[in-house]
Structure 1
Amino acid sequence: MLFRQGAGRLCLDFIRTLRHRGTGQAEEDLPDGPALSAWVAQCGPVAPVPGSVVPAAIVRDAQQLREAVHALVGAARRGEGLSAVPEEQRERVNQAATRSVPIPALIGTGELRWYANDPVTATLALIARDTLDLVTSPAVDRLRECADPSCHAVFLDASRPGSRRWCSMDSCGNRAKKQRRRVH
């Protein structure tokens, strides 16, 4: 399975792993250890060892972290203030941020390689740190929600005018263009 990326921040790509949030058609992209491991391999800086097992407790922790990240990003985006987010969710992100993160190293070929004893937990720590950085930075004013009524993914608008409407022109933006052509 290919996971959706391109939201502009690791934490925003992570919250996209629950599609159609708040509807009767919510789809969980991280239902089990193999899925979480695959997401980390695709989106994180260091892939888990093939065949390694991610315990169910780590999967639940990841899902709960995702919801806490979503709450913080949503509160920051709406201008409610981060104190509007329940303390339990703020603490979940704070606690995840204390864990060891992947370590970069320059190898002899000039390439940058990342290492972690536990790539899944280390990537979750990166997500938590990225969240804390994002929700306390001026970049929060550039967070947008995709204009596709079936998507609603949050993304960082890095366009110069700050007028980006779609989380991805390849999917949501393209669908909207096709829809407009059919109407006309």
Structure 2
Amino acid sequence: MSEVARGLTLRTPDGRPYRFDPGALCLELLPTGGPGSYARWEVLHEPADLVRWAQQSRMPAGLEPVVTPDEVTGARALRDAMWRLAAGRTRGEQLSPADLAVVNAAAAKAPPVPRFTAHGGHGWVPGATGTQLLSAVARDGVDLFTGPYAHRIRECGAHDCSLLFVDTSRPGRRRWCAMENCGNRSKVRAHRARHTESEGDE
């Protein structure tokens, strides 16, 4: 799993932006759409969409893969498999062999080749393919599901939010996709409930 956490900028149904850090590269791919009813949020339609996602992800800056339409299809398949695996883990379900096969097949490909930049930072050898990008995502998924935080994969605690994240905080008490979104909404509801209850006691 990458140690650099930048998070993604998502938007509420009314268009308000907020920052969402799912805690792992593989989980950053999930908000681009998903299986079943999540397909209505699909944003990976063409190669430029996958390149844009890579540039906004927690991968070090400079990765600009050359992506084909078939690799976009592969990205959606990998994402959907990761969705089902992560959601199943939050419910204590057995991991699907078919979904594991999708992740393992992607992870078996060569990942992007890292290199030092001129300033000593982390960069990539130019010309990475979409397949190499997906390998990095899949390998991150293998690391997450077999690592020390596997039991901390969670779904947002809001009843109307299904965003998935891994809680990497030291106390391990993260409940929300983002405090500025679902966390604040929960606080407002709790405040209103207390206010209504106190008025009823008068």
If the length of structure 2 is used for normalisation, what is the TM-score? 0.75
Shift of 1:29: 2.4
Matched, 1:69 2:82: yes
Q: 1:145 & 1:116 partners in 2: Cα distance? A: 36
Q: Is the CA contact 2:51–2:64 (under 8 Å) kept in the aligned structure 1?
A: yes
Matched, 1:27 2:41: yes
Matched with 2:150 is 140
Q: 2:134 & 2:71 partners in 1: Cα distance? A: 10
Matched, 1:59 2:75: no
Matches within 5 A, 1:16-165: 16-18=31-33, 22-23=36-37, 26-43=40-57, 44-45=59-60, 46-48=62-64, 54-82=67-95, 85-87=96-98, 89-165=99-175
Instruction: Count residues with an aligned counterpart.
Output: 177
Q: Is the CA contact 1:144–1:154 (under 8 Å) kept in the aligned structure 2?
A: yes
Gaps of 5+ in 1: none
Secondary structure at 1:138's aligned position in 2?
A: coil
Cα root mean square deviation, aligned: 2.6
If the length of structure 1 is used for normalisation, what is the TM-score? 0.81
Matched with 1:9 is 24
Gaps of 5+ in 2: 1-7, 11-18, 196-202
Paired-residue identity, %? 37
